[in-house]
């Protein structure tokens, strides 16, 4: 990367926005066309790749250049006809007509730093009237120092994620996707899973609408079993359900709409039992094989407990003081719980007031010996929400905090909605859910210890 100052010339290697854009008088670079090099006279823009400069054509050209360490999108729309000309996820070149009135809209799941160049704005939106020759609009997307990598894999929102013992991330993204610790796709299979969990030896367990499936580390299907009627159901859409749990021996338990069922590591149904859910679907398996099942009792959440052989055990009352939450049991057997209701959210000995008078979705994870606690400030919007994740050390002291913001314009609301949080044995935290920008898609972000 090379940064210029003042009015120095920046030479940028520009690529087409994405395949599928067709060329017309106001279109983008044609799919399959070669990269086009243009010399750009603009202040304080980073070079995206050096090549020999060529003279800019006198015909109108609009360059959308994406800078910074974050990912994002820029949409270009004809204001008069409401026609979307392009959504650029990388540098792209458009061929508008002189005098055309355009709206430029930028969005990122990370940190938005503004638009610059021919269309300058600290908000996510600005207007541009196309002039002759070359115009450049630069959108900058930044990342927090704790943010390792962020992906927008496309497809529907991602509702479930888990780390395996080797630090790979499993997510319900376009089926089930396995991502390396650096964010590279290891494999993806077209399994319509609503919830995933990791097992011993990096095995994977997934729940679909009708089955429970065990996969080998390479994605090969080891066995598939029909769901017991008590295990049918996969949450209520608010996220953080964690209704699939795997024990150290490879046994799997699923909490459904009407109860809980357990299968051994070979897929044999061990037992099932009716348990009232009332909107709470959490389940966990302790190191000794005890199955803990979340149930809602009036206001607090209680635990109904079963031995590995299905024998009912004495439960635990009031693991949370509120009625909407999540719990996990970490590898040492420590119980972690969070809940929300009546204008506040609580976890790990801490409480935060929220503007929502009811509850806000919230989740918790074990990240090594630390704890990750995520809470949304409200659940009013279906597009984007403000949220915070706090990382606590084992002694309860705060290590760091990170917040997701919402960017708004007159017509748009951009940002993310977290739907699950997962912790890795090495201490990393992953958050998955929905990104709303010019597009609407799944979102994955990972954070360093």
Average pLDDT over residues 154-170: 96
Do 166 and 180 meet the contact criterion of CB atoms below 8 Å apart? no
Pairing of strands 407-408, 398-404: unpaired
Would you state the pLDDT for residue 348?
85
Using DSSP's 3-state secondary structure scheme, residue 230 falls into helix
> Which superfamily, per CATH, for 147-447?
YVTN repeat-like/Quinoprotein amine dehydrogenase (2.130.10.10)
Do 266 and 284 meet the contact criterion of CB atoms below 8 Å apart? no
Give dist(CA 299, CA 321) in Å, integer.
Answer: 7
Would you state the pLDDT for residue 20?
30
Residue 232 has pLDDT above 70, yes or no: yes
Give the E-state strand segments of 131-183 in sequence order: 134-142, 147-151, 161-163, 169-171, 176-179
Average pLDDT over residues 282-305: 92
Residue 29 has pLDDT above 50, yes or no: no
Better-predicted residue by pLDDT, 42 or 371? 371
Question: What's the topology of domain 2-142?
Answer: Immunoglobulin-like (2.60.40)
Would you state the pLDDT for residue 256?
94
CA distances from 305 to 234, 314, 316, 321, 337 (A): 20, 6, 8, 19, 16
Average of per-residue pLDDT values in the chain: 86
Do 374 and 389 meet the contact criterion of CB atoms below 8 Å apart? yes
Domain positions in the chain: 2-142, 147-447
User: What pLDDT band is residue 266 in, cutting at 50, 70 and 90?
Assistant: very high
Residue with tokens 């007031």, as numbered in its chain: 353
Pairing of strands 259-263, 269-274: antiparallel
Residue 381 has pLDDT above 80, yes or no: yes
Would you state the pLDDT for residue 410?
65
Per-residue pLDDT of 244-265, as tens digits, reads 999 999 999 999 999 999 999 9
Do 3 and 46 meet the contact criterion of CB atoms below 8 Å apart? yes
User: What pLDDT band is residue 235 in, cutting at 50, 70 and 90?
Assistant: confident
Better-predicted residue by pLDDT, 235 or 91? 91
Average pLDDT over residues 147-176: 95
Do 164 and 206 meet the contact criterion of CB atoms below 8 Å apart? no
| Tokens describing residue 200 | 């011993």
Give dist(CA 185, CA 415) in Å, integer.
Answer: 24
Q: What is the dihedral of CA 306, 373, 433, 226, to 10 degrees?
A: -10
Residues whose CB falls within 8 Å of the CB of residue 78, separated by 6 or more in sequence, listed in order: 26, 84, 85, 100, 101, 102
Would you state the pLDDT for residue 149?
97
Residue 53 has pLDDT above 50, yes or no: no
Using DSSP's 3-state secondary structure scheme, residue 364 falls into strand
Instruction: Report the predicted TM-score, pTM, of the whole model to 2 decimal places.
Output: 0.87
CA distances from 220 to 19, 111, 207, 213, 261 (A): 31, 38, 15, 10, 24
User: What pLDDT band is residue 39 in, cutting at 50, 70 and 90?
Assistant: very low
Better-predicted residue by pLDDT, 171 or 343? 171
Would you state the pLDDT for residue 279?
74
Give dist(CA 337, CA 26) in Å, integer.
Answer: 54
User: What pLDDT band is residue 299 in, cutting at 50, 70 and 90?
Assistant: confident
Give 202-249 as a DSSP string: G-EEEE-SSEEEEE-TTS-EEEEEEPPGGG-----SSS----EEE-TT
Using DSSP's 3-state secondary structure scheme, residue 343 falls into coil
Sign of the torsion angle spanned by Cα atoms 265, 269, 270, 271: positive
Q: What is the dihedral of CA 44, 30, 20, 74, to 10 degrees?
A: 20
Q: What percent of the chain has pLDDT over 90?
A: 71
């Amino acid at each position: 990367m090379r940064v210029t100052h003042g009015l120095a010339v920046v030479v940028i290697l520009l690529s087409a926005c994405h395949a599928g854009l067709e060329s017309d008088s106001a279109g983008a670079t044609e799919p399959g066309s070669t990269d086009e090099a243009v010399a750009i006279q603009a202040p304080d823009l980073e070079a995206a790749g050096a090549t020999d400069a060529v003279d800019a054509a006198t015909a109108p050209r609009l360059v959308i250049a994406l800078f910074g360490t974050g990912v994002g999108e820029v949409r270009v729309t004809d204001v008069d006809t409401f026609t979307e000309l392009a959504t650029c996820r990388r540098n792209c070149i458009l061929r508008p007509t002189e005098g055309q009135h355009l709206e430029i809209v930028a969005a990122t799941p990370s940190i938005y730093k503004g638009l610059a160049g021919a269309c300058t704005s600290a908000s996510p939106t600005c207007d541009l009237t196309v002039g002759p020759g070359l115009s450049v609009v630069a959108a900058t997307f930044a990342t927090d120092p704790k943010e390792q990598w962020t992906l927008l894999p496309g497809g529907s929102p991602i509702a479930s994620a888990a780390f395996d013992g080797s630090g790979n991330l499993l997510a319900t993204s376009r089926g089930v996707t396995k991502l390396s610790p650096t964010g590279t796709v290891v494999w993806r299979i077209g399994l319509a899973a609503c919830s995933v969990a990791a097992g011993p030896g990096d095995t994977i367990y997934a729940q679909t609408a009708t089955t429970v499936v065990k996969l080998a580390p390479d994605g090969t299907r080891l066995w598939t079993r029909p769901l017991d009627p008590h295990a049918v159901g996969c949450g209520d859409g608010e996220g953080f359900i964690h209704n699939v749990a795997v024990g150290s021996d490879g046994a799997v338990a699923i909490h459904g709409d009407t109860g809980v069922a357990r299968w051994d590591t070979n897929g044999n149904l061990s037992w099932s039992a009716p348990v009232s859910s009332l909107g709470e679907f959490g389940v966990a398996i302790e190191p000794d094989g005890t199955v803990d099942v979340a149930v809602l009792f009036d206001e607090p959440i209680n635990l109904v407990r079963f031995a590995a052989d299905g024998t009912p055990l004495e439960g635990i009352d009031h693991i949370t003081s509120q009625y909407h939450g999540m719990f996990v049991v970490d590898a040492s057997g420590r119980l972690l719980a969070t809940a929300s209701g009546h204008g506040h959210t609580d976890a790990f000995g801490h409480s935060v007031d929220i503007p929502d008078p009811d509850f806000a979705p919230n989740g918790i994870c074990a990240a090594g010996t630390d704890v990750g606690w995520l809470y949304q400030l409200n659940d009013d919007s279906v597009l984007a929400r403000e949220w915070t994740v706090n990382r606590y050390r084992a002694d309860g002291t705060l290590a760091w905090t990170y917040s997701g913001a919402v960017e708004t314009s007159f017509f748009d609301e951009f940002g993310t909605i977290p739907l699950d949080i997962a912790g890795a044995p090495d201490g990393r935290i992953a958050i998955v859910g929905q990104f709303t920008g010019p597009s609407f898609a799944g979102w994955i972000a990972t954070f360093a210890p």
